[in-house]
Structure 1
Amino acid sequence: MRCRIIGWAAAMMLAAVTAGAQQATDPVQGTWRGLFTDKAWQNTPLSAKIVADGKGLYRVFVELADTDGKPVSALARGAFDGKKFTVDCDLDLGASLGGTCKLTAKGDGAHITGKFKGKNAPGAFKLDHVFIQPPSLGAKPPANGIVLFDGKNLDAWQPTEKPWMIVEGGAMQVGKGNIVSKQEFGDHRIHLEFRTPLMADKRGQARGNSGVYVFGRYEIQVLDSFGLPTADNECGGIYKKAVPKTNACLPPTEWQTYDITFHAPRFDAAGNKTKNAVIKVELNGIVIHDNVELDGTTPGGVSGVEAPKGVLLLQDHHNAVQYRNIWIEPLD
């Protein structure tokens, strides 16, 4: 099997703890980090993002640097039989690393050992399964903060069809129909935490889909996009408006954070818009949109007409996405 080269998409600025501190739903899927062990490359770092595809099959996004320090990424394929994870694949690491090489690896849910074999290939390596904790996970609201959900009740929300439910652990789970905050806001900062379900046999927009609609009008996508190329309809994308600067997603079933700073559009006395809305989005502590101007609304919200104030809407897209620790800090 020959494996295609993909673009470099590293988001390495998150704190990590080794396997054992947290139990993943899938024993193999997730972030792996380690070092090369052969003499020429000894202690040189590499990493991999392993994505479950169902039926014991996985995509393995390998990330390393060439001899000039330039990032290299390649896609391999792996399999897990319930006890052992294996990779046996040809892939092209580029001319400086000898071109096409053979990647073999084996391991379990905690450790993987393997080797790149070929001319100028970097040789043997060891990887450990790590679990990343976003820096704002569990953040408390400021003194002027408005708590929309703290795990106790849904009093701050209005369902559009049926009420959502609070599940074990104090999260609310997507139900039938969107859910909308009863209160409107102007300029504000949003903190919320979410996790997508493991849907390894699904693809694309059917894989843990929901959305955070700022002002009820501008959608920040929620989706299981772990390890994938960025797009406006992948997790962190502003739907049909802006592509994230990088993929900062964590694997499904792991809690993730959005910290969103939003400045509302401005209008004159006659109601004409004089300034576009501006948004900054941090996903798991990494800035993925840095003061992006929004020239209009995105589809599927409460209205296609912009306004000086708006609600927070969480989207039902028929997947069991969960949310918790939602609060607003007014900025006006």
Structure 2
Amino acid sequence: MKRKFLFTMLLAGGFCAANAQEKAKPEDTEVYTPVPPEVTPAKKAGAAPSDAIVLFDGSNLDQWVMADDRDKPAEWLVGKGILTVNKKVGNIETKKAFNNYQLHIEWRVPSNITGSGQARGNSGVFLASLGKGDAGYELQVLDSYKNKTYTNGQAGSIYKQFVPLANPTLPPGEWNTYDVVWNAPVFGADGALVKPAKVTVIFNGVVVQNDAELKGPTQYIGQAAYRQAHGASPIKLQAHGDKSEPLSFRNIWVREL
């Protein structure tokens, strides 16, 4: 009897839903607000759209400061439209702090690169910088073209957390591209984590991180964890201490989301 009653109720529910659908109009599910802002896309692939903040266009480092002393202008090398790491002075980071954003950045290890493993064209894009040193959330930059190392430390990895889904690294001397969608972590008024950071990374047109949920800021030793609450943060580029020839960056822009 109970089964028959349940079947009857399900049948009645389905009939009501079908009847409501028949009475519905197309305009019932049409919305007109909010109206998305108009954005003019770039005429050239990879160039900045109209609403982007250009962080490096090949001419100067006006948007950057030294990471360990934010009162000092960035002291990396600019020439022939590219930005080259200056390992003698340390990391640089953006003057502006960001929460959620879309980032485009291109990088190249020199054709005469030497070394192996992590000592070959090592750098990093810290998607949110949390102060002095290398503290933050690191998207690894490395010559990973036929260069063996631990897989959660190769190009396209979220360093020491997530192995990239593929390795599309181009040979030394060629420009690689990262397109990143970053969603910053959210903390409550008491400092407790409400929502972890998430990141999607497209590397030379290939998805290598797909909405990855980060365990916390990068840890070189030990497991990552959220140990401190923070808000909007700068984007940082790393001057790694390996002895290989320094790599270069170009065409860096960001869109706040």
TM (norm. structure 1) is 0.55
Counterpart residue number, 1:214: 127
The alpha-carbon distance between structure 1 residues 167 and 314, as it changes in their structure 2 partners (threshold 3 A), is same
Match of 1:322 in 2: 248
Of residues 52, 58, 70, the one that matches 1:151 is 58
Mark the runs of 5 or more structure 2 residues left unpaired by the alignment: 1-43, 69-73, 130-135, 221-225
* CA deviations over 1:84-130 (Å, ceiling 9, x no partner): xxxxxxxxxxxxxxxxxxxxxxxxxxxxxxxxxxxxxxxxxxxxxxx
Measure the CA separation in 2 of the matches of 1:174 and 1:196: 11
Give, in angstroms, the shift of residue 142 of structure 1: 2.1
The structure number with the bigger radius of gyration is 2
Aligned 1:106-185 pairs, distance under 5 A: 139-160=46-67, 163-168=75-80, 170-175=81-86, 176-185=89-98
Partner letter of residue 155 of structure 1?
A: D
Query: How has the CA–CA distance of structure 1 residues 227 and 274 changed in structure 2, closer, same or farther, with 3 Å as cutoff?
Result: same
CA distance in 1, matches of 2:84, 2:235: 16
Give the Cα–Cα distance (whole angstroms) in 2 for the partners of residues 200 and 313 of structure 1.
Answer: 23
Partner of 1:233: 153
The answer to whether the 8 Å contact 1:297/1:305 transfers is no
Deviation at 1:201, TM superposition (A): 4.2
Hey, which of these two has a bigger chunk of strand by percent?
A: 1
Aligned residues: 193
Q: Distance in 2 between matches of 1:225 and 1:154?
A: 28
Counterpart-to-counterpart distance in 2, 1:151 and 1:205: 28
**d(CA) in 2 for partners of 1:306, 1:213:** 17
Structure number with the bigger relative contact order (C-alpha 8 A, sep ≥ 6) is: 2
Aligned mates of 2:115, 2:47 — CA distance in 1: 35
- After TM superposition, give the deviation of residue 159 of structure 1 in Å: 1.8
Output the TM-score relative to the length of structure 2.
Answer: 0.70
What RMSD, in angstroms, separates the aligned Cα atoms of the two structures?
2.2
Q: Quote the residue 1:311 is aligned against.
A: 234
Matches within 5 A, 1:192-207: 192-199=105-112, 201-207=114-120
Structure 1 alignment gaps of length 5 or more: 1-136
Q: Aligned with 1:232: secondary structure?
A: helix
Q: 1:198 to 1:206 in 2, by over 3 A?
A: farther
Q: Distance in 1 between matches of 2:139 and 2:59?
A: 25
